[in-house]
């Protein structure tokens, strides 16, 4: 069975600084997708960034980027220039054949 581990239950960062959230996963599959989802206090989960496992280039979406290390099965999320609106719970997810496995989440607080 696939497992996704987020080892940081809680993190905090000062506004405008950079923070990195960690995620590791375990799988025997070669083709899959990895996602970071954000769940703000309003509760709805929204996609932050996506990475295809067959692509070596790390995905980037504005202030959000990932460090994807396929051999190490690591998929960390870097948030640059943190904003107060980034305060949320962040979930790492592994997906194959349409089915996703989620980590336990990291609660990120951005402090003014």
> At its nearest, how many Å lie between another protein and the CB of residue 101?
8
> At its nearest, how many Å lie between another protein and the CB of residue 78?
20
Phi, psi of 56 (to 5 degrees): -80, -30
Mask 13-52, x = binds another protein (CB under 8 A)?
--------------------x-x-x----xxxxxx--x-x
CA distance 28 to 83: 37
Task: Decide whether 33 or 78 has the Cβ nearer to another protein.
Answer: 33
CA distance 55 to 13: 30
> At its nearest, how many Å lie between another protein and the CB of residue 84?
22
Sign, Cα dihedral of 85, 23, 54, 27? negative
């Amino acid at each position: 069975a696939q497992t996704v581990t987020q080892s940081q239950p809680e993190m905090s960062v000062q506004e405008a600084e950079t923070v990195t959230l960690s995620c590791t996963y375990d799988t025997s599959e070669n083709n899959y997708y990895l996602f970071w989802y954000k769940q703000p206090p309003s509760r709805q989960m929204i996609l932050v960034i996506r990475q295809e496992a067959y692509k070596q280039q790390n995905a980037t979406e504005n202030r959000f980027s990932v460090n994807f290390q396929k051999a190490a099965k690591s998929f960390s999320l870097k948030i640059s220039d943190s904003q107060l609106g980034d305060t949320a719970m962040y979930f790492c997810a592994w997906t194959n054949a349409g089915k996703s496995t989620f980590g336990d989440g990291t609660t990120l607080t951005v402090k003014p």
